[in-house]
């Protein structure tokens, strides 16, 4: 079965808007709602308002009832893994087992510099991510967990209550491109592999990534089919071509020609039938979860159209 998540708005919005969007997406059939874990906006003015991921997700756990709640993805270096394991377990309990835990090594250096957080070289960040996953899994499954690594250590870090989901909440490891060390991490530790919505690979590129990841799963003695494959997709959807062009004109950067907007922005633009066709090409090669990023999500129109026409088609 193919499932669909949605990226919730976080920049220059108040919490009431985020909650309204989450509730609407829940009502129209989205499987999950996701928040990014950044301290500064990736695009636009760094002074813009940006709601913090975990705090907002905790509030949504109370506001919603059945939509799953995900992090796309947490930056490992922002929180010690022993503390994060405790936080995640508590949120899984509060949400009655609805947490999807996405975790990554971190990459956006400006926010590290601004907040005074050391930004290590990529190989160290990935090694720290691997140790963090070891720590968290031990804390979720053992009563008196102990671990001594190069970067993290715990000694009897009790984590009660344990998560509702067994053996633990689904772990998604996110990567924009995917190199050797990240694929090793995914194959060994993750339940799912996620590519963010800022980079939509071509079918050819995605197939190549899958073939590479298959080799790492083989080395890790792990069935590739047991790994969930998620793709973030930016999407502009409208009920007909006329309304679609109107939307694109409003949403596109002024300097980008309308006929090149889809390819330059790495997203899909279309009517419901066209979106079904484009998403289907990725389903055919193995993607089983999409995290949709609608630039006009706060109007709720895109979520409703998607829920009415596309989600039922892939069930």
pLDDT in tens, 60-80: 999 999 999 999 999 999 999
Buried b (16+ CB within 10 A) or exposed e, 259-275: eebbeebebbbbbbeeb
Distance of alpha carbon 68 from alpha carbon 98, whole angstroms: 5
Mean pLDDT over residues 29-58, rounded?
95
Model pLDDT, residue 254 = 81
**How buried is residue 119: exposed, middle or buried, by Cβ count under 10 Å (0-12/13-18/19+)?**
middle
- Tens of pLDDT, residue by residue over 211-234, are 999 999 999 999 999 999 999 999
Question: What is residue 252's three-state secondary structure?
Answer: coil
Q: Which residue ranges make up each domain of the chain?
A: 11-227
Q: Which residue has the higher pLDDT, 143 or 196?
A: 143
What mean pLDDT value characterizes the chain? Answer: 95
Question: Please, are residues 9 and 49 in contact by the beta-carbon 8 Å criterion?
Answer: no
Model pLDDT, residue 252 = 86
Model pLDDT, residue 255 = 83
176 pLDDT more than 70: no
Tell me the two tokens of residue 216: 């790492």
Distance of alpha carbon 128 from alpha carbon 153, whole angstroms: 11
Binned at pLDDT 50, 70 and 90, residue 97 comes out as: very high
179 pLDDT more than 70: yes
178 pLDDT more than 70: no
For the structural domain made of 11-227, what CATH number should be given? 3.20.20.30
- Of all residues in the chain, what percent are helix, strand and coil, respectively (each to 5)? 45, 20, 40
| CA 222 vs CA 134, 178, 188, 190, 193: distances in Å | 17, 18, 8, 11, 14
Distance of alpha carbon 275 from alpha carbon 247, whole angstroms: 15
Report the 3 state secondary structure along 28-78: CCCCEEEECCCCCCCCCCCCCCECCHHHHHHHHHHHCCCCEEEECCEEHHH
Q: What is the pTM of this model?
A: 0.95
Which residues in 157-242 belong to E strands, given as ranges? 171-174, 192-195, 228-237
Mean pLDDT over residues 148-174, rounded?
97
Question: Please, are residues 105 and 125 in contact by the beta-carbon 8 Å criterion?
Answer: yes
Dihedral sign for Cα atoms in the order 71, 74, 174, 202:
positive
Binned at pLDDT 50, 70 and 90, residue 112 comes out as: very high
Model pLDDT, residue 177 = 63
Counting residues of the chain whose pLDDT is more than 70, the rounded percentage is 99
197 pLDDT more than 80: no
Model pLDDT, residue 199 = 77
């Amino acid at each position: 079965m193919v499932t669909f998540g949605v990226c919730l708005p976080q920049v220059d919005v108040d919490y009431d808007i985020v909650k309204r969007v989450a509730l609407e997406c829940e009502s129209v059939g989205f499987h999950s709602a996701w928040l990014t874990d950044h301290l500064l906006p990736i695009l636009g003015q760094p002074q813009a308002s940006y709601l913090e991921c975990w705090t907002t997700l905790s509030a949504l756990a109370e506001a919603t009832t059945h939509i799953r709640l995900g992090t796309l993805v947490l930056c490992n270096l922002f929180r010690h893994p022993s503390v994060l394991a405790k936080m995640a377990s508590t949120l899984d309990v509060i949400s009655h087992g609805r947490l999807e835990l996405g975790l990554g090594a971190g990459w956006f250096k400006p926010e590290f510099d601004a907040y005074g957080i050391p930004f290590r070289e990529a190989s160290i960040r990935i090694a720290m991510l691997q140790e963090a996953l070891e720590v968290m899994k031990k804390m979720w499954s053992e009563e008196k967990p102990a671990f001594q690594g190069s970067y993290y250590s715990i000694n009897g870090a009790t984590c009660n209550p344990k998560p509702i989901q067994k053996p633990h909440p689904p772990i998604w490891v996110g990567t924009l491109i995917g190199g050797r060390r990240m694929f090793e991490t995914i194959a060994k530790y993750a339940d799912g592999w996620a590519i963010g919505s800022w980079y939509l690979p071509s079918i050819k590129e995605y197939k190549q990534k899958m073939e590479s990841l298959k080799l790492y799963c083989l080395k890790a003695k792990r069935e590739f089919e047991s790994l969930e494959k998620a793709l973030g997709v930016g999407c502009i959807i409208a009920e007909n071509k006329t309304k679609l062009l109107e939307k694109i004109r409003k949403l596109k950067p002024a300097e980008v020609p309308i006929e090149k907007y889809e390819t330059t922005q790495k997203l899909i633009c279309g009517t419901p039938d066209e979106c079904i066709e484009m998403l289907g090409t990725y389903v055919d090669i193995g993607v089983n979860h999409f995290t949709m990023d609608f630039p006009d999500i706060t109007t709720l129109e895109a979520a409703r159209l998607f829920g009415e026409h596309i989600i039922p088609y892939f069930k």
